[in-house]
Structure 1
Amino acid sequence: MKNSNIPFQTIDWKNVPRTEHKGETGTAYWQTMQFEGLRVRYVEYSENYKADHWCEKGHIVYCLEGEVINELKDGTQSILRKGMSYIVSDDLSSHRSITEQGVHLLIIDGDFLKSNI
């Protein structure tokens, strides 16, 4: 992996453009900072959000507010609440997000999470 330097910077998320992504139900709103090999997102899922796909991408996820159900394709579920995180590498799980009341997340992903298998 190429080492890409990111200079010191602060991110005022209220000034980062917000994009809308419809789920099977509900809506996800992303605010994205993209760097070479690294993506940092502030993500809000509306209440009653259910992802419209199974994700294979690796993530580091930190729950800022609310809670989200993480469902794996095998039916296993876990709940992420405020102050909790999960981490997974690319191609190691098929997962999707489901909310009842909505949630705010900080999600980091990039080349460093590529699977070695």
Structure 2
Amino acid sequence: MLSSPGLYPGGESFFDIKRLKNKNTLMKEVKIMENHLIKFDLLDWITPAKGIRYKKFKNGSNVIRLLEFSEGFLEEEYCPKGHACYVLEGCFNIEYTGKLETYAAGDVIYIPAGKEDKHKAIISKGERVLLLMYEIEHSIPDVTDYSI
């Protein structure tokens, strides 16, 4: 039986499968995405620096992160990447070149990619922030027609 390129014999795509070692060091396959549901609870937290950790789902160039900031996070450089975020918990500031904006649980944030909107997150002492973030590609054109 032939399968399509990029698919496992059961029809799952590569991004649906995560390999985990069990107690016997055997490899076990676990579905991270079933139908259209992303199971973040099956993903491990990645902690690249103090005060930040995330769980990452990637499909091609599409990246969705469950992102947590906490006290001690310090972003040295401005980020030029584009993001669309939903603030699940907490309150924090984003510093854009020359201005500061505050966001809290329930807010939706859209930051276009590019130098004009470069930014950095600022987390206050004792604060914990949880975001659902979609990373926006630089090649996506600016869309200003919001009609449905």
* Deviation at residue 21 of structure 1 after TM alignment: 2.1
The number of residues matched between the two structures is: 107
Q: Superposition RMSD on alpha carbons, in Å?
A: 2.2
Structure 2: gaps of 5 or more residues = 1-14, 16-33, 143-148
* Deviation at residue 32 of structure 1 after TM alignment: 0.3
Q: Which runs of 4+ in 1 moved over 3 A?
A: 112-116
Asked if the contact 2:113–2:137 (Cα under 8 Å) also holds between the matched residues in 1, the reply is no
Residue 3 of structure 1: aligned partner: none
Give the Cα separation in 2 of the matches to 1:83 and 1:52: 27
Decide which structure has the larger Cα Rg and report it. 2
Residue 103 of structure 1: aligned partner: 129
Residue 4 of structure 2: aligned partner: none
Give the Cα separation in 1 of the matches to 2:139 and 2:63: 11
Closer/same/farther in 2, CA of residues 67 and 108 from structure 1, 3 Å limit: same
Residue 74 of structure 2 corresponds to residue 50 of structure 1: yes
Aligned-pair identity in percent equals: 19
Match of 1:30 among 44, 47, 54: 54
Superposition TM-score, scaled by structure 2 size: 0.64
Asked if the contact 2:82–2:137 (Cα under 8 Å) also holds between the matched residues in 1, the reply is no
Superposition TM-score, scaled by structure 1 size: 0.80
Asked if the contact 1:59–1:107 (Cα under 8 Å) also holds between the matched residues in 2, the reply is yes
Moved more, 76-85 or 9-18: 9-18
Secondary structure of 2:79 counterpart: coil
